[in-house]
Amino acid sequence: MIKHIIFDLDGVLLDSESLYRKMNFELFDQLGAPITDEEYNSFIGIHAELMWGYIKKKGQLEQDIPDLIALEKEAKFETLSSGELTPNPGLFELLDTIKSNGITCSIASSGLMKNIKVILPKLGVEDYFGYIVSGEMVTNGKPAPDIFLKSAEPFGVDPENCLVIEDSRNGTLAAEAAGMTCVGYVNEGSGPQDLSKADLIVDSLTDPALLNLIRS
């Protein structure tokens, strides 16, 4: 029985990955570190240190990894702060279904807390989530299970009673490692992701199979 639902943020609550993709490719070009679409797709959902460690090595960049991460952080915050953000279709119907069934919710995002605090009010969804875990709050990022396990802690719910909604391969691997049920959400903005480790794959947040899983 599902007692708690953990949402990834980028790509699930909104199609922010499309914004980040454009922003990051511009940054990669400025740094002189060309990255392919396939390589970038493998970065989605992972910890920033892993991504920038790979890029630094491939591009033989002189900057230290913390400096590269800082550049991306600044660009991402500006991108989120300066424009309108739109929730993914069906998000409010899904959240209302969860709420009406008395199920608690949290967010487990690889992103920074300051970015999350920009996104949630812009989407108008902050009141739905009882706890937020950001990437800087765990030592091991996705695909390690740490962030999902930490997200469930305040609610006292066992992993087998938790449901994770993810749009990335790394996220589904983390959910599997945590021993939680996982729904893979197909979001075109996240690029072609291998969601085969998910227990259910949907391309809509109002897919009947997902809603039935919540109501059961």
Confidence (pLDDT) at 56: 96
Q: Give pLDDT tens digits for 122-163.
A: 999 999 999 999 999 999 999 999 999 999 999 999 999 999
Residues 94 and 11 in one domain: yes
Q: Domain of residue 148: give its range.
A: 4-15+86-215
Mean pLDDT (the chain, rounded): 95
Confidence (pLDDT) at 45: 78
Query: Where is the domain boundary, 40, 66, 82?
Result: 82
Q: Give pLDDT tens digits for 86-124.
A: 999 999 999 999 999 999 999 999 989 999 999 999 999
Confidence (pLDDT) at 189: 83
What percent of the chain clears pLDDT 70, i.e. is strictly above it?
100
Residue 191 has pLDDT above 90, yes or no: no
Query: Where is the domain boundary, 30, 48, 82?
Result: 82
Q: Are strands 200-202 and 181-185 parallel, antiparallel or unpaired?
A: parallel
Calpha distance 84→107 (Å, rounded) = 21
Query: Where is the domain boundary, 29, 55, 82?
Result: 82
Residue 19 has pLDDT above 90, yes or no: no
Number of domains, the chain: 2
Confidence (pLDDT) at 44: 85
Confidence (pLDDT) at 216: 79
Residues 97 and 181 in one domain: yes
The pTM for the full model equals: 0.86
Q: Give pLDDT tens digits for 38-89.
A: 999 898 878 888 999 999 999 999 999 999 999 999 999 999 999 889 999 9
Residues 127 and 195 in one domain: yes
